[in-house]
Structure 1
Amino acid sequence: MNLRIETIRECLDGVIPGLIATCDGEGVPNLAYLSQVQFVDNQHVALSYQFFNRTRQNILVNARVRLLTTNPLTAAQYVLTLEYLHTETSGPLFEQMKAKLAGIASHTGMAGVFHLRGADIYRILGIEQLPGPTLTPPPPSLNYLTALRRSTNRLATCASLTGLLDTALDCLESEFALHHVMLLMHDEGRGRLYTLASRGYPESGVGSEIPFGAGVIGICAREKTPIRIGFMTKEYAYGRAIRDSAAADGMADALETAIPLPGLPEARSQLAVPIVAHDRLLGVLYLENVADLHFGYDDEDALVAFAAHLGMAIHYHQQVEELAEELPANDHGKVESSGQPLLVRYFAGSDSIFLDDDYLIKGVAGAILWALLSDFVARRRTSFTNKGLRLDSRIRLPGVSDNLEARLVLLQRRLAERGAGIHLHKTGRGRFALAVDQPLQLLDG
């Protein structure tokens, strides 16, 4: 095979539908348009199985097919000779194709018609370029290898998790020209992902949540695979995804306490990439754009590599904070306070915290804050350690994969955004201090 499928992946995104040729057992040919072709690797592609039609009947008796694809940038046409192997009806590849097909269906007005029954896996037997005039492709918008090299070098210089998160978003904006980004961490105990950092939105959305398995982000997390959509689709819109999931969980009445998830109201392209370290899901990197087909296979490849490096860096910084605790530092807390008391209400069922009547945070971060404030009010304690929190039975950490340092960063950022006069400050590796500007009144329940 002279051509490799990875060099013509622009043909596979459904801009120009493919044409598939099959034959039945008697040798009678059939031609049909194909909605989607998915790159798997250099030996395999997956085709969308949507209808039990003539094409489907033919491949079950004659596994050899020919597929005509067209490059939308150059008008070059290629014929792929394929052999059907099997069909997948669940798993990462199926979910990738299901999400992409939803976007294609919405774009073509076939949202109520297109339904992915399965991902048909084919072995590539040959690729041939058809003769004919072609156009000169436009120059690439950026050099992905250069952007990746510069970004990973910058991530390697970070001395803390907070610095790493800020640098990661800076890299995505300055090196990859990505201006709308969210970084969400995995709350394994609650089956949620929570926003830890974002870029390009009027509100940061720090502390907002998305249920595991909901929308592009949740499916990416569940399957630990990138999910890319090139056209707007209602099926994967986040307002609907969150509300449907909450209603199914009996949480509809609690939505008013949620922090709104940031996002573009008219995002036409979406890409979610898992952040994994040592085969454990840490979180998801989510990117969006208002243009159709903004993200291609090259973007996906580069950002998967970026997320892999970021995942190992996050894992390293969280381990360092746990294992390398310094000697006790001077008390940096602000014990003297004045003014009207701040009412802090805590609800143990969800570990939710309200400052006066305003929702602040819930989950493990809420349990952490309640423990810190309880110690501050009872003993005027202001210095704390990561190790101490891990041993504190009041917090009920879910286990070793609890992303404790990320939760502290979340809490620190949420308090800063709220501006309520409660502050967390790093005072050393594995150590932090609490400062309070006004008297506190704690109310449990």
Structure 2
Amino acid sequence: MSDAPTLRSIRACLEGAIPAIMATCAPDGTPNVAYISQVLYVDERHVALSFQFFNKTRANILANPHANVLVLDPVTARFYRLHLRYLHTETSGALFERMRAQLAGIASHSGMDGIFELKGADLHAVERIEPVPGEGLAPGPGQLPRADLLGAVRLCSQRLARCTSLDELLQALLAGLHAHLGVQHAMVLMLDAQAGHLYTVASHGYAHSGVGSEIKLGQGVIGVAAREATPVRISHMTHAALYSHAMRSSLGQGGAPAHEIPYPGLAAPHSQLAVPLVSCGRTLGVLFVESPLDLQFRYPEEDALAALAGHLAAAIDLLQAADEAGETPPAEAAATAPQGLPVRVRHFAVNDSVFVNDAYLIKGVAGAIIWKLLRDHVRTGRQEFSNRELRLDPCLRLPDVADNLEARLLLLQRRLQESDTGIHIDKTGRGRLRLRLDAPVRLDEMQA
């Protein structure tokens, strides 16, 4: 029948809002019925079921690979019966991590933290979908999916297509998500693969921007999405969920003062979605959205954000390629000596952390960059610099040619603006930047 339901058309049943019912059969014909925590949509022909306990259901499916699963649409209250055939179990990788993250959110929401441990993701082929006869319900106010998601993606993509710099690109995306998709809280993080963490470069909807805050690779929904290069979505959770966002602990090593830039996330999110930014098979970062309400990011919203994340990643790569292709001549600027009391800048070589008048500014590659600019300025009076010379400077220890230097510079520029240090970095052309000081600087190199 042409109007038979497809797995994609009933994805609302697979959100995890209502547990599914699974029926299996032992080799001797004895039936068994049990509730199952998760039925995850994998693709048009496959679902993954959570393997948590070695019970009768598990024993039956290993002996007889056929099963029926009854799922319910939480909005229309319509039932569908999935006829499944067990294929194999995955205990690591993207599919397993997606299920483990979602299960942790469900467990926290239901007060079952520490009990719902995922042992594996059982992959099943969907051989047939059978609608169960019965009357459904009409969707109530606020229960319908967002209207015209494809149109919203188009409008956001048009904004991105007009951008000529990374700063414009990030601001256009966050503004588009808010205006066209109603996303109130979002951020973009870039991946530092060598250091094993992601750093925030832009955010929207938070009390403070959190630019420069870090998440470890593999930590929380953001870190898992980056590590596995797969979207990770949680629709029900509380602040206690295992996969809730995690703030980076203070460094406290090598004699450098402890410091941290506060993570800007919500204190008690109930919906989270992290989508990796992937271009040419390489993960550049993560687009992350969240909400204090349940079920705000369903499968259609995941599809829309995945499309925008792909556009953003490709645009970032194109802008970087354009930046490396050639530099524009620097804009002319009269060199004026800064006046006033000197600003003290300390640099800790152990991790390239930089402090301005005892206040923490930045560390890592961005810290090494601002230290180089200030050091060269004090030694020679230079103000003009190029991306190319920064990339070729061995002292900066840039990971490789694929590292997005423009993202580091944008991070540094925003941290300087927010910290009100009197130190500024201005972009003066393609691949060009200028150091601008409101007052003289006094540099102290700290070895311990």
TM-score tier, shorter chain, comes to over 0.9
1:236 equivalenced with 2:237 (yes/no) = no
Partner of 2:136, secondary structure, is coil
- Tell me which residue corresponds to 2:361: 360
Q: Any conservation in 1 of the 2:186–2:204 contact (CA below 8 Å)?
A: yes
How far the C-alpha of 1:337 sits from its partner, in A, is 1.0
1:267-282 → structure 2 map (5 Å cutoff): 267-282=269-284
Partner of 2:371, secondary structure, is helix
Superposed CA deviations along residues 216-264 of structure 1, whole A, max 9, x for unmatched, are: 111111001110011225212334x634xx79xx869979411011011
Q: Structure 2 counterpart of 1:344, which letter? A: V
1:20-419 → structure 2 map (5 Å cutoff): 20-137=22-139, 138-233=143-238, 234=240, 235-239=242-246, 242-243=248-249, 256-331=258-333, 335-419=336-420
Q: Any conservation in 2 of the 1:70–1:78 contact (CA below 8 Å)?
A: yes
Q: Any conservation in 2 of the 1:206–1:410 contact (CA below 8 Å)?
A: yes
Q: Structure 1 counterpart of 2:243, which letter? A: Y
Q: Any conservation in 1 of the 2:213–2:248 contact (CA below 8 Å)?
A: no
Q: Structure 2 counterpart of 1:222, which letter? A: R
How far the C-alpha of 1:63 sits from its partner, in A, is 0.5
Partner of 2:237, secondary structure, is coil
Q: Structure 2 counterpart of 1:180, which letter? A: H
Change (3 A) 1:165 1:368: same
CA distance in 2, matches of 1:325, 1:94: 45
Give ranges in structure 2 of 5+ residues lacking alignment.
none
Higher mean alpha-carbon deviation, 256-265 vs 25-34, is at 256-265
Q: Any conservation in 1 of the 2:24–2:67 contact (CA below 8 Å)?
A: yes
CA distance in 2, matches of 1:208, 1:362: 11
Q: Percent identity?
A: 52
Higher mean alpha-carbon deviation, 101-110 vs 373-382, is at 101-110
CA RMSD, Structure 1 to Structure 2 (Å): 1.7
CA distance in 2, matches of 1:182, 1:311: 14
Q: Structure 2 counterpart of 1:261, which letter? A: Y
Change (3 A) 1:15 1:81: same
How far the C-alpha of 1:113 sits from its partner, in A, is 1.5
Q: Structure 1 counterpart of 2:226, which letter? A: A
CA distance in 2, matches of 1:290, 1:256: 31
Change (3 A) 1:101 1:209: same
CA distance in 2, matches of 1:321, 1:335: 28
Higher mean alpha-carbon deviation, 306-315 vs 394-403, is at 394-403
Q: Any conservation in 2 of the 1:25–1:61 contact (CA below 8 Å)?
A: yes
Aligned residues: 439
Partner of 2:439, secondary structure, is coil
Partner of 1:270, secondary structure, is strand
Q: Any conservation in 1 of the 2:254–2:350 contact (CA below 8 Å)?
A: no
Q: Structure 2 counterpart of 1:432, which letter? A: L
Change (3 A) 1:312 1:346: same
Superposed CA deviations along residues 57-114 of structure 1, whole A, max 9, x for unmatched, are: 0001110101111101001100110000000000000000001011111112222221
Q: Any conservation in 2 of the 1:231–1:292 contact (CA below 8 Å)?
A: yes
CA distance in 2, matches of 1:109, 1:376: 58
CA distance in 2, matches of 1:132, 1:299: 29
CA distance in 1, matches of 2:77, 2:57: 26
Q: Any conservation in 2 of the 1:185–1:283 contact (CA below 8 Å)?
A: yes
1:432 equivalenced with 2:433 (yes/no) = yes
Partner of 1:175, secondary structure, is helix
- Tell me which residue corresponds to 2:8: 6
How far the C-alpha of 1:292 sits from its partner, in A, is 1.4
Q: Any conservation in 2 of the 1:331–1:383 contact (CA below 8 Å)?
A: no
How far the C-alpha of 1:327 sits from its partner, in A, is 2.8
Q: Structure 2 counterpart of 1:371, which letter? A: K
Change (3 A) 1:291 1:121: same
Superposed CA deviations along residues 369-418 of structure 1, whole A, max 9, x for unmatched, are: 00000111111100011111111122111111221011011111110111
Kindly report structure 1 stretches of 4+ aligned residues shifted beyond 6 Å: 252-255
CA distance in 2, matches of 1:188, 1:85: 34
TM-score where L is the length of structure 1: 0.96
